[in-house]
Each structure stands twice: as C-alpha cells, then as structure tokens.
Amino acid sequence: MFAVILAWIAVLLLLATSAGLILNRDWRWDLGLLAAQYLGTFILVAQHWPIGMAAVKLVTGWMATAAIGMTLNALTPREEVPGQFWPRGRVFRLFMIGMIVVLTIAATPHVESAIPGIGLPVVAGGILLIGNGLLHLGTRSEITRVIYSLLTILAGFEIIYAGVESSILVAALLAVVNLGLGLIGAYLINAELSPEEEAA
C-alpha cells in the first residue's frame, strides 16, 4: 500500500517538475526541477527494478544535470527569448500542459491493460513525462531546452520500459545514453555561449 501511495506521489512530483520545466525560465530552477524529476523517475523505476539498479537512473540523471549545471554556471546564460512563431504566454503553456494531463488520464488505463502488471502510476508517470517532454521539444528550440526535453522524454520512456525489461546491459546502456546526453548538452551549450562570452 505504501509503495502505491509513494508511486502516486512520484507521479505528482513528475507532473510538477515537467510542467515547471516548461513554464520556468530561470536556469537554476530548471536544474533543480530536472534533479527532482530524476527522483520521481527513480521511485517509479524502483517499482519494478531492485533499488540498486533503479538508483543508477537517479545517479546518472543527477550527473547529467550536474554537467549541464556546471556549464551554465560557468557561462552565465543569457535571458531566453522564445521563438516568435509560437504563442508565448504562460496561460497558453498551462493549457497545453492541461491537455497532456487529460491525455495521460485517458491513455493510462489502455496502456496499463496492454502491459499487464506494470501498474497505473508507472504508466501515468511515463506518459506524463513523454507528453510534457514532447510539448517542451515542440515549443522551444534553444539548445538547453532541447536537452531538457530529450532527457524528460527518455526518463518517461525508461519508467515504462523498466516494467518490461530488466536486463543489466540495457540499464547500463540507458545510463550511458542519459549521461551522454547531459555531456553533449553541456558541450553544445558551451559551443553556443562561448563566442559571445569572448566578445563581451
């Protein structure tokens, strides 16, 4: 019973963090939200994997977050200006997040019946992250945002995939992919922001 309650708390945490990543514009808050997102991911993955294996997701997620954070901290990122082609208001983004929540509520029972034994909170958490990650990816084009959204989508996928696959090799490779994405993000952010730093 406690595990189920904890899993639903993790889903709420994932909703808050993934929505916060879409709504927020301060990079320090973003990093905190990303780190918290990996905590929620860890709780849901631990529903099917041993704690030790699930902890790999938490540690690599935090390492990826740290890599991005150190780069942003060193380069002092400029204020983000979202693309002009897309509605920018917070209300609009909140509406879109609401749509993702509705979609998640509608899709979760169907997916859960297709993957017996996986559990409603695991499916809900996974779909929520994938949906919000795709929303984030579709509405923002800055490198930092692209990396956050890819990490969010991957975290959502990993939550569901952990319910059907428990190979150590897959866990290791997914950890390397997450860490690699964090490092690639740091590299690209560095490449994007460095020339301006020098010019300044």
Partner 1 sequence: MSAPILWILLPILIGSFTLLLLRERTVAVIGGGTSLVLAGIALIVPIDEALRIGPLSLKIASSASILGRSFLLPPADAPLLVIIFGMCALWFFGAEAAGVALRLIPLGLIITALLVASIAVQPFLYAALLIELAVMAAVPLLSPSDQKPGRGVIRFLIYQTLAMPFLLFAGWLLAGVEASPGDLTLTIQSTSMLGLGFAFLLAIFPLYTWIPQLLEESSPYVVGFLLWLLPTIASIFGMSFLDRYAWLRTSPEVLAGLRGIGLLMLLSGGLWAAFQRKLERLMAYTAIAETGFILLALSLTTAGSLDLFFLLIIPRGLGLAVWALALSILKKENASLEFSSAQGLARAYPLASAALVFAVLSTAGFPLLAGFPPRLALWQGLAGASFGAAILFLIGLLGLLVGAVRMMAVLVMQKEETRWSLKENWIQRGMLGIGITGLFLLGIFPQIMRPFLENLPLMFQHLGR
Pick the stretch among 4-12, 18-26, 33-41, 181-189 that binds partner 1 (CB under 8 A). Answer: 181-189
Q: Is 94 in the site for partner 1 (CB under 8 A)?
A: no
Q: How far is the CB of 167 from partner 1 (least distance, A)?
A: 7
Please select the residue that binds partner 1; options are 9, 70, 99, 173, rule is CB under 8 A: 173
Pick the stretch among 8-16, 29-37, 51-59, 190-198 that binds partner 1 (CB under 8 A). Answer: 190-198
Pick the stretch among 8-16, 42-50, 62-70, 139-147 that binds partner 1 (CB under 8 A). Answer: 139-147
Pick the stretch among 33-41, 73-81, 95-103, 156-164 that binds partner 1 (CB under 8 A). Answer: 156-164
Per-residue burial over 84-97, b if 16 or more Cβ lie within 10 Å, else e, is eeeeeeeeebeebb
> Please, which residue, 106 or 191, has the CB nearer to partner 1?
191
Q: Is 153 in the site for partner 1 (CB under 8 A)?
A: yes
Q: Is 194 in the site for partner 1 (CB under 8 A)?
A: yes
- Residues near partner 1 (CB under 8 A) are 114, 137, 141, 143, 146, 150, 153-154, 157, 161, 164-165, 167-170, 172-174, 176-177, 180-181, 184, 187-188, 190-192, 194-195
